[in-house]
Structures are given as C-alpha cells and as structure tokens.
Structure 1
C-alpha cells in the first residue's frame, strides 16, 4: 500500500483544509459551528475512501501530537473534550462518503446528496455519543441523552444540511472536470 507523492500531497492538503475549517467557526455554548464537515466531506468525494480517511487521520494525529489545530487547541488530553467524538466522526465520514461515491458512474446532486447525508449522520452519531459520555462520565455533570442531542445536534443540523447541499452541488461540477483531467475516478 504505497502512496504516490501526489496522494501524499492531497492527503496533507485536505488535512490542512480541515484544520483551517476548525478556525472558521461561530462560537456556541457547547459545540462550535465550524467548516470542518465541509472539508472532510470533500475529502471523501475528491480523494476516495482510503485517502479521505488518511487525510482525517493525519489531521487528528497532528492535533493529538500537540499542534493546536482543533477548535480548542490540541494534545492527547483533547480526547477528553466533549467535541472529540465529532473528530472521530469526521474520519469515518470521509471514509464512508468516499466509499459510497468513488464508483459512481454519473455524478448528480440526487445521487451525491444522500451519500453526503450518510457521512453527516456518522459525524453526529459519534459526536453526540462522545459528548454525552464525556459530560456524564468524565465531567460528572448529569445530562440526559435528550440534553446531548439538544446541545450537540439540534442547533447545528440545519446549517449542516445546507453544507451537505453545498458539498453535493459543488461536487456535481468539480468531479466531472477532475475526471476529464484524469485526477479522480481512475483508481
């Protein structure tokens, strides 16, 4: 499983874009709204499952190594932040979207949008679950699952649905051009 130089550059680029997306944020009480999902979804669509996964793993690895690329810094203790589950979700989101889109013959909004939504569902599944567990078990503050959903899902779902539409719409224009140029769809 040898990576070509081009693949390494693309993986690093999407890891960097995800890090930049962490700092393009709107602060909210528990979970800030960022553009990280946008870039992890694009990583899955443009890079495919394997390289999309690698890009998000690289992003998380850099952050856990201590580089402050997450919304609230970095370091190993970041796994105890209520928002760390979303980062795990980004990793699996990029892989799932890549897996669901890499063999599409035709790229249309109607067949991309549900696949992007599947990736978004993974982000929320891991994000809200981790939020609930950390607040209850680590921080010792009682929070029902409905409270975790209210804090980590409800305020953000509309904006993330809009971002999902942006990803699917943009990809319908970009992926065919990249295919014609020979950059995607040839694996």
Structure 2
C-alpha cells in the first residue's frame, strides 16, 4: 500500500522542479525581450491626433506569447518593459524611463504583457501543441490585439488626453490595418516554429 505522506513528499519537489525556469527558458525570455526592443525602433511613425507612433513592438509581443507560451511570453514582455523603465532606450523613438508609463501610449505598453499571456494561453491550451496551424493560431493572436491591446490603448489615450471614447477610437483606428498584417505574420511564423520545435510549449 502506498504511503500518501511519502507520495506527497516526493511529488512536491517534483512540482517545484517543473515550475522552475531553466537556463534555456531564461535565455528565450531575454532573447524575446531584446527582439521586442529592436522592433520598437522600426517604423516609429506618429499617427492620429494623439501622436502614438506605429512600430513593430506588437509584432514582437505577439510572437513572444505565441511562441513561448503564457508564462515565458509574459516574462519576456515584462522584462522588456522593465529595461525601458530603468532607463534603457528600448521604447519607440528611443524613449525610456518611468515617465513613458504616464504618457499617451501608456495604455498600450501596459497591455503588452497581458496580451502576450493571453495569446500564449490560447495557443497552448485552446489550440494545443498537437493542433497548431496558422489558421488556428490566428484567432488566438487576434484576441490579444482586439481584447487587450486596443481597449487598453484607447483607455490610456482617453485618460491622458481627456477625450471621449469616440475620439480616442478614431486615433486608434489607423493601427488596425498594420495589426492585420502583423497578426497574419505572427500566425505563420509561430506555426512554423512549433512545427520545427514541437516541444517548445511544454515548459511555458
């Protein structure tokens, strides 16, 4: 007869081991944080009445979630934001510092880790590692943009600029066309990556 106490003693360290991030996990988190920082420099064209720049940041955020999964994706984006907060010029237009989080684009920045976690969760647990195809990943990536990034971005502009929802929405609309392209690219890239590395989501 199995001793339940002994089983619990053995199971607890095993659970902690599974939960602990490996050096590979940490390397992936750091690599994707760097990727998002690099993509933030590309484009950076201010649009709309609020002047929030169009960049490829959201491409990197979505890739982090779709490829790394919910935990590591969240950590990668959080690390990126942390590096910017302490003064490294990794945000759009080479900006940095805590002041960025009180600016007009603060809502978008705050949404990034949440969006990555949601995308990662949907890809891992709804789509599933064995059924990953670009067409199935696409709705998961779109959910992060539609349900998290745009609503929080609009809310941030409303608060910072003191404008009604309709005005903030009109400033947000120019980002949608670019997002359609980014969502499609992320879906294609993530599907191919997971096809090549089918166990990548096992520890996420």
Q: How does 1:1-187 map to 2 (within 5 A)?
A: 1-29=19-47, 30-72=51-93, 73-103=95-125, 104=128, 105-121=130-146, 122-136=148-162, 143-151=163-171, 153-179=172-198, 182=199, 184-187=200-203
The alignment partner of 1:82 has SS state of: coil
Larger Rg: 2
The alignment partner of 2:69 has SS state of: helix
Shift of 1:26: 4.1
d(CA) in 2 for partners of 1:26, 1:80: 19
Aligned length: 177
Alignment TM-score, normalising by the size of structure 2? 0.82
Long gaps (5+) in structure 2? 1-18
d(CA) in 1 for partners of 2:98, 2:201: 36
Question: Please, what is the CA RMSD of the aligned residues?
Answer: 1.3
Give the ranges of 4+ consecutive aligned residues of structure 1 lying more than 3 Å apart after TM superposition.
none
d(CA) in 1 for partners of 2:45, 2:76: 25
d(CA) in 2 for partners of 1:90, 1:119: 9
Shift of 1:39: 0.9
